[in-house]
C-alpha cells in the first residue's frame, strides 16, 4: 500500500509539474522578439487611436514603421548619389551586427498605409529630374522629414509608458523552475539526491490600493543513493495588504496611470501643432525657393537690359553723341548686373538645398519645383487688390505743393478673406490652440499633484493578512509522506500596522513644492495665453502690412516700367544721360523682386495666421485644409479635467 501511495504521489507530481511547466512556459516559451514587437505595436496603436479619438474627436492612420521605398531612397539609388554608409539610404540598408535579433523587422509589410500614400515621381535613371508640386512637397515631408518621424515616435513611446502603467493593475504571473542535486558526505553511506521545485506566483494590485500575492509551489525530491525514496511537497500561501489611510483610494493609487493617459494626449496635441507648423514652413520655404528662382529670372532680364544699354551707349559714343565716361558707367553697371545674376543663382541653389534638407531628401539630389505654383499665385484673383486712387493717382488734379498732405491709413475695404477682426481672431485661437489646451491641462495635473502631496502627509495604517498551508520537501525529507494541501491545517495571521506620521519632513517639503508647481503651472498657462494673443495680433498686423506692401509694390513695378521706357526714349533723343537709364533699370529690378516677395509674404502670412489660430487642419499625409472664415470652427476634443 505504501509503494502504491508513493507511486500515486509521483504520478500526481508529474501531472502538477507538467501543468506548472505549461503555465510557466506557455506565455513566453513560443514567443520571439518579433512577437513582442508586434504586441508592443498593437498595444501602442490601440492606445493612440483611443487617445486621439478622445482628444480630437477623430482618428487617422498612424504608424512609426519606416516608409517603404521613400523618395530619399529612390533618389539616392536612382540618381546614383554618393553616401558615407548604407544606412543613409534607409534603416533596411544598414549593416546589421551579427547579434541582431529580429530579421523580420526589415521586411516590407504589404498592408502598410504609407506605401501607397507618398507621391511617386519617376526615378528610373541617374539623370532623371524629380519635379515636386507644393502638394507633393507636403506629402514628401510627412514621410521623409526626420523631425516628423521623431514627433511620431514621441507619441508611440508615451503610449508604451501608459501601457506599462496599466500593467501595474493587471494580473502578473511569475513562474520559477529549480533543480538541485546535492550530496551529503557526513553519513555513512553518503546521501545523494535531486530536488525539483516549481513555483507559480500571482500578484495583483487593485485600484483602491490593496495588493494581493498568492503562490503555489511543488517539490519533488528523490534519493539517488542510500535508497530510492521520493516525496512530494506542496505549499500554498497568500498575502493581502490593504492601506487604510495614506496611499489608499482610487484617486491616489491610479495617479501615475492617469498622468500617463494625459501625457499621451499632450503628445498628440504637440504632434498636431507640429504638423501645422511643418506644413506652413514647407509652404513658406517652397515659395521662397520659387521667389529665388524668380529673382534669377529678373536678374537675367536686367543683365540683358543693361547689356543692351551698354551697346547702345557704345554706338552713341562712337557717333560722338555721348561722353566716354557714360560708356564706362554703363560698362560698370553691366558688370554689376552680371554679378547680381550670378549671386541670385547661388542664392537660389542654396535655398533649394536647404528646402531639400527640410523634406529629408539628399541635398545633392536633382529635383525641380513647379514654377506654375508661383504663376498661379500671381494670377489668383484673391490677391488682385484694387489700388487706391487717392493714394496713387498722379494723373488727376494735383494739390499745391504747400498744401497739407493727408496721410490715408489702410482700410478694410480691400482686405483679404482672412483679415478678420482681432477680437474674433483671438476668440477662435483661444478655442482651438492645442498648446494652450495643454497648458490648461497642466494646471489640473498640478492640482492633482497637490492632492497627492497632501495624502503623503497622512499617517500610515495598513492591514496585512496572510495564509499558508502545506509543507515543502528537501533531500533530507525524501522519506517523508507526500504533503497535502489542507486548509484546516494551515497558518493564518493578521497585522495592523500604524505609522502615526511623527516624521514627515520630506513629505512636507514635497507638498510645499507641489503648491509652488501649481502656481508655476498657472503662470505658464497665463504666459501661453498671452503668447497666443500676441501671435494672433502680430499675424493680423503682418497680413495687413503684407497687403499694403503688395499694393505698393504692384504700383512701383508699373512706375518703374514707365520710367525705363521714358528714359530710354529720352536717351535716344539726347535729353537724358546713360546714368538715368541705368538707374531706371535697377529700380525696375528691385521693384520686380519686391513685388514677388510681397505676394509670397502675403500668402505665407495667411498660412501663418491660420496656424496661429489653430484652424489649419493637416492630415496624416501632410495635406492641409484651410480655414473658411465664414464658418464657425468647432473646437477639437478636450483632454478633460480629471
Per-residue pLDDT reduced to its tens digit, 353-380: 999 999 999 999 999 999 898 888 888 8
Indicate the range of 294-303, 313-322, 446-455, 599-608 predicted with least confidence: 313-322
**pLDDT value of position 117:** 42
* Class of residue 203 by CB neighbours under 10 A (exposed 0-12, middle 13-18, buried 19+): middle
Classify residue 183 as exposed, middle or buried by CB count within 10 Å of its CB (0-12, 13-18, 19+). exposed
Q: Report residue 225's pLDDT band, with 50, 70 and 90 as the boundaries.
A: confident
Q: Is the per-residue pLDDT at 343 higher than 50?
A: yes
Query: Higher pLDDT residue, 272 or 571?
Result: 272
Q: How confident is the model at residue 394 (pLDDT cuts 50, 70, 90)?
A: low
More confident residue, 269 or 404: 269
pLDDT tens for residues 230-255? 888 888 999 999 999 999 999 999 99
Q: What is the pLDDT of residue 572?
A: 73
Q: What is the pLDDT of residue 634?
A: 55
**What pLDDT shows up at residue 113?**
44
Q: SS in 3 state form for 148-209?
A: HHHHHHHHHHHHHHHHHHHHCCCCEEEEEEEEEEEEECCCCCCEEEEEEEEEEEEEEECCCC
Confidence of residue 139 (pLDDT cuts 50, 70, 90): very high
pLDDT band of residue 399 (cuts 50, 70, 90) is confident
Give pLDDT, residue 108. Answer: 59
Predicted pLDDT at 479: 74
Q: Which residue has the higher pLDDT, 273 or 632?
A: 273
Q: Give the sign of the dihedral formed by CA 95, CA 99, CA 105, CA 107.
A: positive
Q: Give the separation between CA 601 and CA 548, rounded to whole angstroms.
A: 11
The C-alpha cell 499617517 sits at: 459
pLDDT, average across residues 61-90: 89
Q: Give, as one character, the DSSP assignment of residue 88.
A: G
Q: What average pLDDT does this structure show over 536-557?
A: 90
* Higher-confidence position of 41 and 104: 41
Band of pLDDT at residue 635, cut at 50, 70 and 90 = low
Q: Tell me what pLDDT residue 460 has.
A: 92
Would the CA dihedral through 606, 607, 612, 617 be positive or negative? positive
Query: Looking at the predicted structure, is the pLDDT value of residue 522 above 70?
Result: yes
Give 79's DSSP letter.
Answer: T
Q: What pLDDT does 120 receive?
A: 46
Residue 11's pLDDT band (boundaries 50, 70, 90)?
A: very low
Burial class (CB in 10 A: 0-12, 13-18, 19+), 402: exposed
Separation CA 181–CA 62 (nearest Å): 54
Asked if the model's pLDDT at residue 472 lies above 90, the reply is no
Q: Is the pLDDT of residue 511 over 90?
A: yes
- Write down all domains in the chain, each with its CATH number in brackets: 2-22+171-205+208-248+460-500 (no CATH), 32-82+136-169+259-393+413-458+505-642 (1.20.1600.10)
591-607 pLDDT tens trace: 888 888 888 899 999 99
CA–CA distances in Å: residue 445 to residues 22, 458, 521: 44, 21, 9
Judged by phi (left if over 0) then psi (alpha if -120 to 50, else beta), residue 501 lies in left
Highest average pLDDT, of 34-48, 213-227, 371-385, comes from 34-48
**Phi then psi dihedrals of residue 503, to 5 deg:** -115, 110
Please state the φ and ψ torsions of residue 223, each to the nearest 5 degrees. -80, 135
Instruction: Please tell me the predicted confidence (pLDDT) of residue 115.
Output: 41
pLDDT tops 50 at residue 2? no
CB 469 within 8 A of CB 489: yes
Does position 168 have pLDDT exceeding 70, yes or no?
Answer: yes
- Average pLDDT over the chain, rounded to an integer: 84
276 contacts 618 by C-beta, under 8 angstroms: yes
Do residues 145 and 359 make contact, with C-beta atoms less than 8 angstroms apart?
A: yes
CA distance 21 to 474: 20
pLDDT in tens, 120-130: 444 443 346 88
Q: How far apart are CA 548 and CA 410, in angstroms?
A: 7
Q: Comparing C-alpha atoms, which of 153, 154, 129, 150 is closest to residue 356? A: 129
Output the pLDDT for position 385.
Answer: 61
Residue found under cell 546713360: 578
DSSP track, 495-548: EEEEE--S--HHHHHHHHHHHHHHHHHHHHHHHHHHHHHHHHHHHHHHHHHHHH
pLDDT band with cut points at 50, 70 and 90 for residue 4: very low
**Percent of the chain surpassing pLDDT 90:** 46
Question: What cell does 178 get?
Answer: 529549480
Do residues 66 and 94 make contact, with C-beta atoms less than 8 angstroms apart?
no
| pLDDT over 60 (residue 15) | no
For residue 154, pLDDT beyond 90? yes
Confidence (pLDDT) at 7: 41
Q: pTM for the whole thing?
A: 0.84
User: What single string gives the DSSP state of each residue in 266-319?
Assistant: HHHHHHHHHHHHHHHHHHHHHHHHHHHHHHHHHHHHHHHHHHHHHHHHHHHHHT
Q: Counting beta carbons within 10 angstroms of the beta carbon of residue 390, is it exposed (0 to 12), middle (13 to 18) or buried (19 or more)? A: exposed
Residue 48, phi then psi, degrees to nearest 5: -65, -45
Pick the more confident residue, 342 or 18: 342
Q: Any idea how long the chain is?
A: 642
Averaged pLDDT, 506-535: 96
User: Rounded CA gap, 342 and 599, in Å?
Assistant: 24
Q: Using an 8 Å Cβ cutoff, are 129 and 350 in contact?
A: no
| Average pLDDT, integer, range 340-352 | 95
Q: Are strands 367-369 and 130-132 parallel, antiparallel or unpaired?
A: parallel
Average pLDDT over residues 46-61: 92
Cβ(615)–Cβ(432) under 8 Å?
yes
Predicted local distance difference test score (pLDDT) of residue 227: 66
Q: What percent of the chain has pLDDT over 70?
A: 88
Amino acid at each position: 500500500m505504501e509503494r502504491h501511495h508513493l507511486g500515486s504521489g509521483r504520478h500526481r507530481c508529474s501531472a502538477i509539474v507538467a501543468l506548472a511547466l505549461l503555465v510557466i512556459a506557455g506565455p513566453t516559451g513560443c514567443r520571439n522578439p518579433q512577437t513582442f514587437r508586434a504586441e508592443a505595436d498593437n498595444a501602442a496603436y490601440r492606445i493612440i487611436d483611443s487617445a486621439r479619438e478622445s482628444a480630437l474627436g477623430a482618428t487617422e492612420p498612424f504608424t512609426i514603421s519606416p516608409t517603404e521605398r521613400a523618395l530619399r531612397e529612390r533618389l539616392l539609388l536612382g540618381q546614383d548619389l554618393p553616401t558615407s554608409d548604407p544606412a543613409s539610404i534607409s534603416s533596411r540598408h544598414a549593416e546589421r551586427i551579427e547579434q541582431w535579433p529580429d530579421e523580420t523587422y526589415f521586411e516590407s509589410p504589404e498592408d502598410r498605409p504609407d506605401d501607397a500614400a507618398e507621391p511617386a515621381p519617376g526615378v528610373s535613371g541617374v539623370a532623371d529630374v524629380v519635379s515636386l508640386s507644393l502638394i507633393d512637397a507636403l506629402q514628401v515631408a510627412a514621410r521623409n522629414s526626420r523631425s516628423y518621424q521623431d514627433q511620431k515616435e514621441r507619441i508611440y513611446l508615451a503610449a508604451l509608458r501608459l501601457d506599462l502603467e496599466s500593467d501595474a493593475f493587471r494580473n502578473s504571473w511569475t513562474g520559477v523552475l529549480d533543480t538541485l542535486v546535492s550530496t551529503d558526505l557526513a553519513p555513512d553511506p553518503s546521501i545523494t539526491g535531486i530536488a525539483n521545485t516549481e513555483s507559480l506566483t500571482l500578484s495583483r494590485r487593485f485600484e483602491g490600493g490593496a495588493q494581493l500575492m498568492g503562490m503555489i509551489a511543488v517539490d519533488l525530491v528523490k534519493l539517488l543513493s542510500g535508497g530510492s525514496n521520493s516525496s512530494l511537497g506542496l505549499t500554498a500561501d497568500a498575502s493581502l495588504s490593504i492601506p487604510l489611510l495614506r496611499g489608499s483610494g482610487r484617486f491616489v493609487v491610479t495617479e501615475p496611470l492617469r498622468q500617463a493617459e494625459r501625457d499621451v494626449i499632450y503628445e498628440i496635441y504637440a504632434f498636431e501643432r507640429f504638423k501645422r507648423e511643418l506644413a506652413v514652413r514647407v509652404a513658406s520655404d517652397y515659395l521662397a525657393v520659387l521667389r529665388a528662382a524668380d529673382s534669377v529670372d529678373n536678374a537675367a532680364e536686367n543683365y540683358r537690359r543693361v547689356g543692351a544699354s551698354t551697346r547702345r551707349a557704345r554706338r552713341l559714343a562712337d557717333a560722338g553723341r555721348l561722353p566716354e565716361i557714360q560708356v564706362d558707367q554703363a560698362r560698370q553697371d553691366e558688370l554689376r548686373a552680371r554679378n547680381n545674376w550670378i549671386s541670385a543663382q547661388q542664392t537660389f541653389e542654396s535655398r533649394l538645398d536647404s528646402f531639400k534638407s527640410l523634406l529629408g531628401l539628399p541635398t545633392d539630389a536633382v529635383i525641380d519645383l513647379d514654377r506654375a505654383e508661383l504663376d498661379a499665385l500671381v494670377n489668383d484673383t484673391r490677391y488682385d487688390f484694387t489700388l487706391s486712387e487717392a493714394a496713387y493717382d498722379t494723373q488727376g488734379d494735383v494739390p499745391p505743393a504747400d498744401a497739407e498732405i493727408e496721410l490715408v491709413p489702410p482700410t478694410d475695404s480691400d482686405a483679404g478673406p482672412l483679415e478678420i477682426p482681432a477680437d474674433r481672431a483671438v476668440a477662435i485661437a483661444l478655442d482651438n490652440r492645442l498648446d494652450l489646451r495643454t497648458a490648461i491641462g497642466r494646471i489640473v495635473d498640478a492640482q492633482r499633484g497637490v492632492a497627492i502631496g497632501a495624502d503623503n502627509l497622512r499617517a500610515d495604517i495598513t492591514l496585512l493578512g496572510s495564509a499558508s498551508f502545506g509543507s515543502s520537501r528537501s533531500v533530507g525529507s525524501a522519506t517523508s509522506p507526500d504533503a497535502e494541501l489542507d486548509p484546516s491545517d494551515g497558518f493564518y495571521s493578521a497585522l495592523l500596522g500604524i505609522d502615526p506620521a511623527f516624521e514627515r519632513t520630506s513629505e512636507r517639503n514635497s507638498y510645499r513644492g507641489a503648491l509652488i508647481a501649481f502656481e508655476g503651472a498657472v503662470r505658464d498657462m497665463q504666459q501661453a495665453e498671452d503668447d497666443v494673443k500676441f501671435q494672433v495680433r502680430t499675424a493680423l498686423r503682418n497680413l495687413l502690412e503684407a497687403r499694403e506692401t503688395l499694393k505698393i509694390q504692384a504700383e512701383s513695378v508699373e512706375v518703374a516700367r514707365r520710367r525705363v521706357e521714358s528714359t530710354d526714349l529720352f536717351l535716344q533723343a539726347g535729353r537724358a544721360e546713360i546714368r538715368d537709364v541705368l538707374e531706371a533699370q535697377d529700380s525696375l529690378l528691385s521693384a520686380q523682386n519686391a513685388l514677388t516677395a510681397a505676394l509670397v509674404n502675403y500668402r505665407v502670412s495667411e498660412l501663418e495666421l491660420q496656424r496661429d489660430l489653430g484652424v489649419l487642419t493637416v492630415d496624416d499625409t501632410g495635406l492641409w485644409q484651410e480655414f473658411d472664415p465664414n464658418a464657425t470652427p468647432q473646437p477639437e476634443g478636450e483632454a478633460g479635467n480629471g
